[in-house]
């Protein structure tokens, strides 16, 4: 069975004077054991998608469409069931562990909390389970007595990963899990996530603005722009040869890991993403698109399938190579 199925997800936030659409008709699915990366510039709606998956959105958000985790509808789910699904069915690793961890509680007690809440292990066995989890993420057992401020950024992120794994979820959502870390630690944490997730057949949705990180970690890649997925396909193919002009621009802006020829300073994309409350007519990328034509002001393109198990939301792609 498909582990995660998102269909036509829409999320808008209430703002002064109206509503701003943050996610506009996003659909994707994830099989057990597979890894999907979601890329895009700041503000394109990546975190909103992540939060929607476990209904962690603020009260000002309005959600539509359908989200199914392991076949269960999340949007209409009752509160009690939702609590059971969080941590045990699916868990999230957020950016910046310092803000997600409680500063005045020992990390061992924080890892124990979801285990106790869900009764994943008998109370007497919880300390042993916490010790095992710490070892699995590369920390010594005695660290369970530490407070978050006694740990480095990388160690705190390891604690967050231990918490996320505590109840053996089928799905992990990692939202910028390494963004605040330096490059060496970033590589260690990504390797750790890869080993733990891959070794246990857990499905993962990883969100990052860094295409190189996603290309290195994920099987498939979705590129978001202004609340929509504009390109989707096998990660290596999307990075090497994006079909959507925005995917291509994003990929050109990042040096590719392991490719010395591309080890140059990242080039920024000219222009800014549109204001969600005031989207341009037609294609949202049109004002920044180097190959835009007149018809791009008339059509707001949906994802068209293109060869190689990929899809792109661009009328030019549709005209030239849609299958």
Ligand X SMILES: Nc1ncnc2c1ncn2[C@@H]1O[C@H](COP(=O)(O)OP(=O)(O)OP(=O)(O)O)[C@@H](O)[C@H]1O
Residues near ligand X, by CB under 6 A: 13, 15, 20, 22, 40, 42-48, 58, 60, 209, 276
Place of tokens 């990388």: 154
Q: How far is the CB of 206 from ligand X (least distance, A)?
A: 13
- The structure tokens listed for 213 are 């990180």
Q: How many CB atoms are closer than 10 A to CB 215?
A: 22
Best CA proximity match to 37, nearest among 190, 188, 154, 143: 190
Residues 253, 39: contact at Cβ < 8 Å? no
With respect to ligand X, which residue has the nearer C-beta, 22 or 312? Answer: 22
With respect to ligand X, which residue has the nearer C-beta, 22 or 242? Answer: 22
With respect to ligand X, which residue has the nearer C-beta, 47 or 144? Answer: 47
Q: How far is the CB of 15 from ligand X (least distance, A)?
A: 5
Q: How far is the CB of 230 from ligand X (least distance, A)?
A: 13
Q: How far is the CB of 182 from ligand X (least distance, A)?
A: 19
Q: How far is the CB of 20 from ligand X (least distance, A)?
A: 6
In the chain, the largest separation of any two C-alpha atoms, in whole Å, equals 69
Residues 4, 68: contact at Cβ < 8 Å? yes
With respect to ligand X, which residue has the nearer C-beta, 58 or 260? Answer: 58
Which residues lie below 8 Å from residue 252, measured CB to CB, with a gap of 6+? 267
Q: How far is the CB of 253 from ligand X (least distance, A)?
A: 15
What residues are paired with 6 via a beta bridge?
28, 67
With respect to ligand X, which residue has the nearer C-beta, 57 or 139? Answer: 57
CA dist 22 and 16 (Å) reads: 15
CA dist 157 and 103 (Å) reads: 14
161 SS3 class: helix
With respect to ligand X, which residue has the nearer C-beta, 139 or 207? Answer: 207
């Amino acid at each position: 069975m498909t582990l995660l199925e998102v269909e036509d997800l829409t999320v808008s936030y209430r703002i002064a004077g109206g509503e701003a659409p943050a996610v506009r008709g996003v659909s994707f699915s994830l099989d057990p054991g597979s890894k999907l990366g979601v890329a895009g510039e700041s503000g394109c709606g990546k975190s909103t998608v992540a939060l929607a998956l476990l209904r962690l959105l603020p009260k000002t958000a309005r959600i539509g469409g359908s989200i199914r985790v392991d076949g269960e509808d999340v949007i209409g789910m009752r509160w009690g069931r939702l609590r059971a699904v969080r941590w045990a069915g699916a868990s999230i690793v957020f950016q910046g562990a310092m803000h997600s961890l409680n500063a005045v509680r020992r990390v061992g007690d924080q890892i124990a909390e979801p285990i106790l809440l869900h009764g994943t292990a008998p109370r007497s066995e919880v300390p042993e389970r916490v010790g095992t989890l710490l070892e699995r993420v590369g920390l010594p057992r005695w660290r369970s007595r530490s407070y978050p401020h006694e740990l480095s950024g990388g160690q705190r992120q390891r604690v967050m990963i231990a918490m996320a794994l505590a109840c053996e979820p089928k799905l992990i959502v990692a939202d910028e899990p390494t963004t605040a870390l330096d490059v060496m630690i970033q590589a260690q944490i990504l390797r750790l996530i890869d080993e733990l997730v891959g070794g246990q057949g857990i499905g993962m949705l990883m969100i990052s603005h860094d295409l190189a990180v996603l290309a290195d970690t994920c099987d498939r890649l979705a590129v978001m722009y202004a609340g929509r997925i504009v390109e989707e396909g096998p990660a290596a193919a999307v990075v090497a040869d994006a079909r959507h002009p925005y995917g291509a621009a994003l990929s050109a802006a990042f040096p590719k890991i392991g490719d010395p020829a591309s080890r140059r300073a990242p080039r920024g994309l000219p222009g800014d993403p549109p204001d969600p409350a005031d989207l341009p007519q037609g294609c949202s990328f049109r004002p920044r698109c180097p190959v835009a034509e007149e018809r791009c002001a008339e059509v707001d393109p949906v994802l068209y399938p293109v060869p190689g198990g990929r899809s792109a939301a661009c009328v030019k792609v549709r005209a030239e190579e849609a299958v």
